Amino acid sequence: MSRQFSEIFDELESWYGMEAGRVVLDKIRAHLATYLDTAFGYHILQIGPVREHSLIEQGRIHHHIYAGPRGGSAVGLLCEGDELPLASDSVDVIVAHHSLEFSTNPHQVLRELQRVLTPQGHLFIVGFNPFSLRGLGLLLKRFGRYSPWRRHHPVSRDRLCDWLRLVGCDPGSCSFLHAVPGIGGRRVRNLLERLDNACGRYNLPLGGLYVVHAIKQQPGVTGSRLDLRKHGGKLIGLAVPKPAATPSPAPAGPARGHSGAIRRRPNGDIIH
């Protein structure tokens, strides 16, 4: 990992550790909880440069995997996003936290996420929205002469959805979070908080971050495993007709004429 990326990750973790960053983390967790509470499977993966802040603690999947380019107390898998040491079709849910915009090869990162995800598995991608106040602030940081943020390459929601379709994932929804930063005194903060809640209620594309939810597609399969669980997934029972019994041949009896009388020879013997 280059020094420039290391400096960006330090600033990113520092920001998430501050009050404003913790507010954003709480909003991301609350949004993901609506999905993770009903998702099921064996393994859930969180991948990204932020080491000390979990987004997957809630939910019913108990085996949590934390992967990132730098070691930390919570990181169990030290790796880059473009080469995951995981088997294909092995992870049920993935939360990619700033995994694409801080990579030199975001297309390969996305292909790796799709590879390790199980068919009909759920992928959540969290990133900075370039068309927001937060995105504008990050853009201004790039103009510094020695700014490490020159290596930050934001990905818009529409471009990301196009990439997801190309790798075989269906982008189902996109939610924008934290449109208005909390600044100023208590009265100003309360006013901005109400304004931010209104933006979130109508999902206006002004949020500083977005969360894109996609499902890995499999040929011949429609819907997600969430839907299959909700509706039971039963097969319709059809009655299979039993083969008709073949009648046994009747034993040969004495021959009869058209009138039903027993026929005899001239000497009196019965004709069979």
The SS3 assignment for 190 reads: helix
Question: Rounded to the nearest 5°, which phi and psi values hold at 78?
Answer: -90, 110
For residues 191 and 232, is the Cβ–Cβ distance under 8 A? no
Mean pLDDT of 36-55: 90
Taken in order 95, 100, 105, 111, is the CA torsion positive or negative?
Answer: positive
Which range among 52-56, 131-135, 196-200, 208-212 shows the weakest confidence by mean pLDDT? 196-200
Give domain limits for the chain: 3-231
230 — alpha (psi -120 to 50), left (phi > 0) or beta?
alpha
Question: Rounded to the nearest 5°, which phi and psi values hold at 84?
Answer: -85, 130
Of 180, 82, 168, the C-alpha closest to 129 is 180
Which range among 64-73, 75-84, 99-108, 228-237 shows the weakest confidence by mean pLDDT? 228-237
The SS3 assignment for 42 reads: coil
- Within the chain, residue ranges assigned H as helices are 3-17, 19-36, 106-116, 133-141, 157-166, 186-201, 225-231
Q: Is a pLDDT exceeding 80 seen at residue 96?
A: yes
Under CATH, to which class is 3-231 assigned? alpha beta
Residue 243 pLDDT: 43
